[in-house]
């Protein structure tokens, strides 16, 4: 959030677009091993047509609408809570930097 006139405000769509472009550029440099063939978006922003179009243009692939975006977020939150509380075995919760490091290390092996 930014401070505007002493009050905080949500980022503008332009701010989000600039941030998204940077994230897409960084993700293209990741050692994934294969090209992206589709994009599945989750969360409230994925319901916005403009956001889906921007993501499709940046990624160069179609955005698939095969999952309910809010249900996916809720399921992910429930899984993360179960892992943190020790109720789920065989799963791990990673931040994006941890996942990137794991992928890069696996590529070196």
Hey, is 103 helix, strand or coil?
Answer: helix
Q: Both ends of the chain: CA-CA distance in Å?
A: 40
* Tens digit of each residue's pLDDT, the chain (109 residues): 455 555 556 767 677 767 777 776 666 655 556 677 888 999 888 888 888 888 888 888 899 999 999 999 999 999 989 998 999 888 888 887 888 888 888 888 7
pLDDT per residue over 5-33, tens digit each?
555 567 676 777 677 777 766 666 555 56
Rounded Cα–Cα distance for residues 107 and 5 (Å): 48
pTM: 0.56
Rounded Cα–Cα distance for residues 52 and 16 (Å): 12
Tell me which H or E stretch contains 92.
none
């Amino acid at each position: 959030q930014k401070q505007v006139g002493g009050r905080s405000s949500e980022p503008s769509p332009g701010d989000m677009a600039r941030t998204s472009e940077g994230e897409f550029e960084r993700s293209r440099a990741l050692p994934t091993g294969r090209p992206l063939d589709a994009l599945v978006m989750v969360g409230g922003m994925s319901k916005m047509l403009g956001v889906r179009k921007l993501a499709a243009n940046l990624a160069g692939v179609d955005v698939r609408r095969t999952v309910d975006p809010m249900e996916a977020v809720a399921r992910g939150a429930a899984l993360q809570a179960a892992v943190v509380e020790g109720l789920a075995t065989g799963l791990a919760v990673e931040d994006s930097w941890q996942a990137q490091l794991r992928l890069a290390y696996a590529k070196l092996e």
